[in-house]
Amino acid sequence: MNQLDQLESIGVRILREAYSNFKNLCMLWSIGKDSTVLLWLARKAFYGHVPFPLVHIDTHFKIPEMIEYRDRLTREWNLPMVYGENSEALAAGQTYPDGNVDRLTCCRLLKAEALKNTLNGNWKRYRFNHGTDRYELDDNKDLYTGVIVGVRADEEGSRSKERYFSPRDKENIWDVGDQPPEFWNQFKTDFAPGSHVRIHPLLDWTETNIWEYIEREKIPTVSLYYNQGSGERYRSLGCGPCTHSVQSEARNVSEIISELKTGKFANIAERSGRAQDKEDGGGLETLRRDGYM
């Protein structure tokens, strides 16, 4: 087995462990390249099916192509798609683009808070009805006890310390100093009522691995990742106002791979285009302790 086969097998094994051990399981799909690889791994693990809901947190500031792509794949692959949002903060204009709060607060409200309350079923969830071709209010209000997430250890410091199966308490808090042991493919699958476990099948993947796998498997990705003539592309996708494109000539997957391996990005961190990471020394770590992805 080569490296990609190995990474794929570990990912599939973890997804299957999660599916066998958790009654209320879901997978977060941010539409970005990592969580799309994760979705693909789920189709590998379950032979074309995705036997648990895909949850998207809609901040309403995502770049429009992302939402179009989400709904296109939902239809084509017959995906069980669910989204949630912080409708209160959005209605009150408590957002960075509205000029009322700073970037980190905006992330906390639109992402971390929305995520927490969508996962625990306190806030409304909307599910795609393949019969009517529309999103409709989801009757299911159960807490998701297992939440599959596409974070990678190489993204930033706090993610490098993650477990494959990482528990969150009732308040969604990650106790980074006291994580469960993991060895010999045995993971934490028993948990106290009210808590949930985040599951991370992509921890060992690097950004380059992700693109190599996308190339090998021919996985469709959002067009924003590619230079379409402007000399710019997105290296990492997030909300429009806080994620910036990078200058790059890469027009397709194989050009991205050579850019990462030997080209201009060989030594530049991926999230350098994300403004919220720079707000305070450990900004992302603080957000992540409180439940951010």
Partner 1 sequence: MQREQMNIVFTGHVDHGKSTVVGRLLADTGSLPEGKLEQIRRDCEKNSKPFEYAFLLDALKDEQSQGITIDAARVFFNSDKRDYIIIDAPGHIEFLKNMITGAARAEAAFLVIDADEGIQENSRRHGYLLAMLGISQVCVIVNKMDLVGYNQQVYKRIVRKFSRFLKSINLPKVKFVPVSGREGDHIYHRMDRMPWWEGATVLELLDQFKKSESLERLPLRMPVTDIYKFTNFADSRRIIAGTAETGSFKEGDELIFYPSGKKSRVKSIESFNTQTVTEVSAGKATGITLEEQIYLSRGALACRVDEMPPRVGNCLMVSLFWLGREPLVAGKEYLLKTGTSKVRCQLTEISKIIDASSLDAQDRKNQVDRHDVAECILTLQKVIAFDLVMDLPQTSRFVLVDGYEIAGGGIIREVVEGRQSEYGDRLIRRNLEWENGIVTELDRMQQYQQRPALILVTGVLNGGNKQFAEQLEKKLFSLDKTVYYLGYRSLKYGLDADLRNGFQNRHNQMIREEHIRRISEISHIMMDAGLFFIVKIDALTYEERDLIQLLIGSSRLKTIWVGRDITTDLVPDWHIRHPENTADHLEEVDQIMTEWELLGDIK
Q: Between residue 19 and residue 78, which ones bind partner 1 under the rule CB under 8 A?
A: 19-20, 43-49, 51, 78
Distances (CA, A) of 46 to 19, 43, 177: 10, 5, 34
Smaller CB separation from partner 1, 18 or 239: 18
C-beta of 106: minimal distance to partner 1 in Å?
22
Positive or negative CA dihedral for 9, 203, 218, 5? negative
Using CB under 8 A as the binding rule, whether residue 163 contacts partner 1 is answered as yes
C-beta pairs of 269-274 under 8 Å, 24+ apart in sequence: 269/156, 270/154, 270/155, 270/207, 270/235, 270/236, 271/155, 271/156, 271/236, 273/234, 273/235, 273/236, 273/243, 273/244, 273/245, 273/246, 274/236, 274/238, 274/242, 274/243
Using CB under 8 A as the binding rule, whether residue 132 contacts partner 1 is answered as no
Using CB under 8 A as the binding rule, whether residue 173 contacts partner 1 is answered as no
* Binding residue (CB under 8 A) for partner 1 from 157, 194, 220, 231: 157
d(CA 113, CA 106): 10
Smaller CB separation from partner 1, 228 or 247: 247
Q: Between residue 186 and residue 205, which ones bind partner 1 under the rule CB under 8 A?
A: 186-188, 190-192, 203-204
d(CA 56, CA 138): 13
3-state secondary structure of 20: helix
d(CA 59, CA 79): 21
C-beta of 92: minimal distance to partner 1 in Å?
31
**What binding mask, one character per residue, do residues 214-233 give for partner 1 by CB under 8 A, x or -?**
---x----------------
Choices 10-18, 86-94, 103-111, 238-246; region in contact with partner 1 by CB under 8 A: 10-18
Using CB under 8 A as the binding rule, whether residue 155 contacts partner 1 is answered as no
Place of tokens 């992700």: 210
Distances (CA, A) of 136 to 54, 83, 125, 155, 156: 15, 10, 8, 35, 36
C-beta of 193: minimal distance to partner 1 in Å?
10
C-beta of 236: minimal distance to partner 1 in Å?
15
C-beta of 146: minimal distance to partner 1 in Å?
14
C-beta of 233: minimal distance to partner 1 in Å?
19
**Number of neighbours of residue 276 by Cβ within 10 angstroms:** 23
* Binding residue (CB under 8 A) for partner 1 from 71, 154, 215, 290: 154
Q: Catalog residues that contact partner 1 under the rule CB under 8 A.
A: 1-6, 8-10, 12-13, 16-17, 19-20, 43-49, 51, 78, 153-154, 156-158, 160-161, 163, 176-177, 179-188, 190-192, 203-204, 206, 217, 267-269, 281-282, 285
